């Protein structure tokens, strides 16, 4: 739920990275943390286990800057992918204004992708959220691996709403920004549309408009009417084509990346990363009560932030 605060002159939006365990959600946030302009992101807080597996969530505050006089901020979360953490995953999803679904392209991972997507839909339903109107983008990650599904296969299995999709190699920082940019655009566009009194029910056209710099074809005239019932039609026709940002969006330009990295080093210096360790026992003891386990961990985090 977007918070518009005229007293603080702020717009606050919540974005959640969803997907199966180990698909690269935390990596996405780490890249955003590194590549974002200096001073525009806060600490990356991870509530993680000893082995760096996300226990409750990762959190990254991002300040987009002034938009029409409002300081526009995104609070970005990842969920734990492990199947048995649904209670905590659900908590993180609550009130989300947009979702990035990070799918694993590696051959053999499709069942996990599908299970996670089904789980997302189930949790959407429980919160009364509508996948047709909630901004969602898909990221097909790990495109660097030798044995991967084709884009067509990924689309056919996962892209049910004619979403924008992005290929990524998150570990190398590729495709991460285009993905988030497109989603953030959809969230803000949907807010803008609500503001200007238009119907909230259409979302895809806006996605194209804002993501235009990314999706080469544009295809500005997409009507949401096509997107809604056409679960299987979407990717079978050529219509999905211009919406996909694929190749063009992810230029593998080494030079650009290097300079971005240089910049990010200075960011990382004063914004120390905040990964915590050593709570494996919490996990072991509380697997059944994942929420409770995470919560204990968490008080420690709060204390740290309060300077204890």
Ligand X SMILES: Nc1nc2c(ncn2[C@@H]2O[C@H](COP(=O)(O)OP(=O)(O)O)[C@@H](O)[C@H]2O)c(=O)[nH]1
**What distance in Å separates the CA atoms of residue 72 and residue 253, rounded to the nearest whole number?**
30
CA–CA gap between residue 56 and residue 54 (Å, rounded) = 6
Contact map string, positions 266 to 295, toward ligand X, x by CB under 6 A: ------------------------------
Stretch that binds another protein, among 22-30, 143-151, 179-187, 219-227 (CB under 8 A): 179-187
User: Least Å distance between CB 149 and ligand X?
Assistant: 14
Closest contact distance (angstroms) between CB of 22 and ligand X is: 4
The site that binds another protein (CB under 8 A) totals a number of residues, namely: 76
SS3 65: strand
| Contact flag: residue 113 with ligand X (CB under 6 A) | no
Site for another protein in 46-65 (CB under 8 A): 47, 56-57, 59, 61, 64-65
112: Cβ contacts below 8 Å, ≥ 6 apart: 20, 21, 23, 104
Residues in 182-201 that interact with another protein by CB under 8 A: 184-185, 188-189, 191-197, 199-200
> Which of Mg ion, another protein, ligand X, none is residue 170 near (CB under 5 to 8 Å by kind)?
ligand X
Count the site residues for Mg ion by CB under 5 A: 3
CA angle 56, 60, 164 (to 5 degrees): 95
Per-residue tokens: 246: 């694929």
CA distance 144 to 272: 29
Distance CA 206, CA 178 (A): 16
- Out of 142, 244, 271, 297, point to the residue binding ligand X (CB under 6 A): 142
* Residue 171 contact among ligand X, Mg ion, another protein, none, beta carbon within 5 to 8 Å by kind: ligand X
Q: Please tell me whether residue 54 binds Mg ion under the rule CB under 5 A.
A: yes
Instruction: For residue 125, give Cα distances in angstroms to 120, 121, 122, 221, 229.
Output: 9, 6, 5, 29, 17
Backbone angles phi, psi at 279, to 5 degrees: -120, 30
Residue 116 binds Mg ion (CB under 5 A): no
Q: Using the rule CB under 6 A, give the single segment among 168-176, 182-190, 207-215, 234-242 that binds ligand X.
A: 168-176
Q: Give the footprint of another protein on residues 226-255 (CB under 8 A).
A: 251
């Amino acid at each position: 739920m977007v918070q518009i605060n005229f007293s603080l002159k702020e717009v606050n939006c919540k974005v959640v990275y969803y997907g199966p365990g180990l698909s690269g959600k935390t990596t996405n946030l780490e890249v955003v943390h590194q590549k974002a302009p200096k001073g525009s992101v806060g600490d990356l807080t991870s509530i993680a286990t000893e082995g760096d597996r996300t226990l409750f969530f990762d959190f990254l505050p991002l300040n987009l800057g002034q938009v029409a006089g409002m300081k526009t901020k995104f609070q970005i979360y990842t969920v734990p992918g492990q199947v048995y953490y649904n209670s905590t995953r659900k908590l993180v999803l609550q009130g989300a204004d947009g979702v990035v679904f990070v799918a694993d392209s590696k051959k053999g991972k499709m069942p996990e992708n599908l299970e996670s997507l089904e789980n997302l839909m189930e949790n959407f339903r429980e919160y009364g959220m509508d996948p047709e109107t909630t901004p969602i983008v898909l990221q097909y990650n790990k495109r660097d691996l030798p044995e991967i599904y084709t884009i067509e296969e990924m689309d056919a299995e996962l892209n049910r709403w004619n979403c924008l999709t992005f290929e990524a190699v998150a570990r190398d920082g590729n495709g991460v920004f285009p993905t988030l940019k497109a989603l953030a655009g959809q969230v803000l566009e949907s807010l803008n549309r609500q503001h200007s009194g238009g119907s909230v029910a259409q979302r895809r056209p806006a996605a194209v408009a804002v993501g235009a710099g990314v999706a080469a074809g544009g295809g500005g005239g997409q009507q949401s009417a096509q997107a809604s019932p056409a679960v299987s039609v979407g990717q079978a026709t050529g219509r999905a084509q211009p919406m996909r940002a694929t190749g063009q969006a992810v230029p593998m330009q080494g030079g650009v990346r290097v300079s971005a990295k240089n910049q990010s080093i200075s960011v990382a210096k004063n914004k120390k990363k905040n990964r915590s360790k050593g709570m494996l026992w919490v996990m072991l003891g509380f697997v059944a009560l994942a929420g409770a386990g995470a919560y204990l961990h968490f008080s420690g985090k709060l204390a740290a932030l309060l300077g204890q």
